[in-house]
Structure 1
Amino acid sequence: QIARDDPRKLIHSLKVGLALTIVSLFYYFKPFYRNFGVSSIWAVITVVVIFEYSVGATLGKGLNKGLATLTAGGLGLGAHHLAVLAGQIGEPLVIAAFVFLHAVASTYARFFPQVKARYDYGFLMFILTFCLISISGFRTDQVLILAQNRLCTILVGASVCLVVSIFICPVWAGEELQKLIAKNIEKIGNSLEGSSIEMNPNTKKTLQIPNSFIHVSEIAGTLASESESSKLSSESLNTILSDSKTMEENLANFAKWEPGHGSFRFYHPWKQYLKIGQCARQCGSTIDTLIGSLNSITKQEISIPDAIREEFSCTGCEAGKALKGMSWTIETMTRPSSPDIHMENMKTAAKTMKTLLKSNTLEDIKYGNLLQLAPLATIASLLIDTVNSIETISEAVNELGVLANFR
């Protein structure tokens, strides 16, 4: 079932098996074993530890491990040299002091958010390597050979991982982040559009738009998504957004390690994707509350004037279509060739709704229908907040288009 849902996971498993097979053969290759001896096993350990699902994660772990081993090895040799100068009695005390200080400093540095996000694994390997080199140096005189052999075998294992990860069905963290952001925005739009259709299923109102501005992809997308959007509920919306922040941050951190590929440059604006994701989550939270309010009105069978109901539905539908248009822009990295019609329709419908709501409010106050007024005011406020959130997302997407040079 897992392989059918995502064949790349099966391919990743095969890639790990291939990399381990290659480094295992090195272990039995006599010239390699003659030079490195038992240290050859570190190449196998490196593959097991650093080979990750995406290229960025693998490259990040490999560089962290290599730099940590090189730095810790050098400091371990320095600590060993100073310990030898302290004499036979002072040597173990100096080694213990250096191990304590490095462990405390490295562990404390891991608590900094920026360090933990990108270099946590490197600091962990730094502590391990420094302790192994310094303590081994206390027990043997071959410290330099130990450090050299370990560094070389780690480079061999990391190189095999990178070659297999990049050149055999690569999975790029940057592309995964792009698809995740686009997918979340599309599903939020489907949820909003579906709830609007359920509120007024007989609404057929559309604003008059010149045919030259209508794209075939928009018509096809509308027809295909209406059936799906009606099935999305508040529960599914929460499921979509619950873990997205952690996933987006992890993918963005991995993507920063990746070399330029395809439409993604080395200095691609990954932070802008996180900004869009944050705006989308805020919008999704507002829509979740809006859907709950609509369900509450439906259960209480509160009467809503047809004109207001129609504008509510029209605003929600146009807002959902605008979100799906932004999703398409992010996924294809293509700027719309014409003005965003759905954004303009959404703003127009929202203004009309405000006007109708004000006139209806005066009538309710006049006739004392205050119980009917409160739910309408709540929904209108939430819908206006949703419109404002969507405008914020649109600005962030346009900014991404400029920074990433969308076509």
Structure 2
Amino acid sequence: MEVDHRIRVSDGDGETTAGQGGVVGVFFARCWLRLRSVLVGLWCWVAGFARKVGRIAREDPRRVAHSLKVGLALTLVSVFYYVTPLFKGFGVSTLWAVLTVVVVMEYTVGGTLSKGLNRAFATLVAGFIAVGAHQVANRCGAQGEPILLAIFVFLLASAATFSRFIPEIKARYDYGVTIFILTFSLVAVSSYRVEELIQLAHQRFSTIVIGVLTCLCTTIFVFPVWAGEDLHKLTAGNLDKLAQFLQGIGI
């Protein structure tokens, strides 16, 4: 039995016959309509997102300045990796300066200074303790060294983590304790395979100091943002609102 694959469509004058070409045309028309709706929706989303970004930038232009400062600081510390003499002096540890800029750079000068001091001091203390732990574990022989290092890492990491639950430490030194755990664990564990441990610790601490100093110089000398200024503006604004409220109720 032969099957008729044609479709009959009414065009107003009567019934006409459309073949396979008509089906393909309808299919492509529907695909175009769907694609056009997707493109229109995407354009509306992009336009809305652009308006939102513009509004945020207009509300506080210092946000744009802060973004540029972070890019500037990262560019400056990357020079230590690109310049061959500087790279030979610090080695692969130069990347720690880049990491330091990313995690230390804050919106305000005070925030950057606080995180920078926390990171530098925690790195210094953790490095000293890790080198000492390596010297003690090294005296136990090749078999006892990894066991003793694992015990040191377990004890210090557990004690430092528990100290983060103390309100006074959590409020002011939480970031420093986190860096202490990270640095001690990295140095202590790597000391089992690395021969020049003192040199490695020195390079990492030096690059971290370079990253902190780069952040401080950038955030202080390039459009600085002081937390005290924002606090003063917020207090003044609240006082104005309170005065308007009291004036409105007739007091």
User: What's the offset of the Cα at 1:92?
Assistant: 1.4
CA distance in 1, matches of 2:242, 2:193: 62
TM-score (norm 1): 0.47
Count the aligned residue pairs. 197
Structure 2: unaligned runs, 5 residues or longer: 1-54
Equivalent residue for 1:332? none
Aligned equivalent of 1:42, options 56, 77, 96 = 96
CA distance in 2, matches of 1:177, 1:107: 33
Aligned equivalent of 1:128, options 170, 177, 182 = 182
Aligned equivalent of 1:109, options 160, 163, 172 = 163
Alpha-carbon RMSD across the aligned residues, in angstroms, is 1.3
Pair 1:162-2:202 in alignment: no
Structure 1: unaligned runs, 5 residues or longer: 197-312, 318-407
Equivalent residue for 1:175? 229
CA distance in 2, matches of 1:78, 1:167: 39
TM-aligned CA distance change 1:113 to 1:178, over 3 Å = farther
CA distance in 1, matches of 2:230, 2:85: 41
Identical-residue share of aligned pairs (%): 54
User: C-alpha deviations, 1:186-205, integer Å up to 9, x for none?
Assistant: 323333433x1xxxxxxxxx
Residue type at the aligned position of 2:187: I
User: C-alpha deviations, 1:18-62, integer Å up to 9, x for none?
Assistant: 111111122101111011111111111111110000000000111
User: C-alpha deviations, 1:135-156, integer Å up to 9, x for none?
Assistant: 0001221211111110011111
CA distance in 2, matches of 1:182, 1:110: 35
Larger gyration radius, structure 1 or structure 2: 2
Q: Secondary structure at the match of 1:138?
A: coil
User: C-alpha deviations, 1:181-224, integer Å up to 9, x for none?
Assistant: 33223323333433x1xxxxxxxxxxxxxxxxxxxxxxxxxxxx
Residue type at the aligned position of 1:105: A
Q: Secondary structure at the match of 2:192?
A: helix
Dislocated runs of 4+, deviation >4 Å:
none
Equivalent residue for 1:33? 87
Aligned equivalent of 2:195, options 141, 146, 156 = 141
Equivalent residue for 2:131? 77
Residue type at the aligned position of 1:63: L
TM-score (norm 2): 0.75
Q: Which has the higher contact order (CA 8 A, sep 6+)?
A: 2
CA distance in 2, matches of 1:155, 1:27: 15
Equivalent residue for 1:265? none
Equivalent residue for 2:152? 98
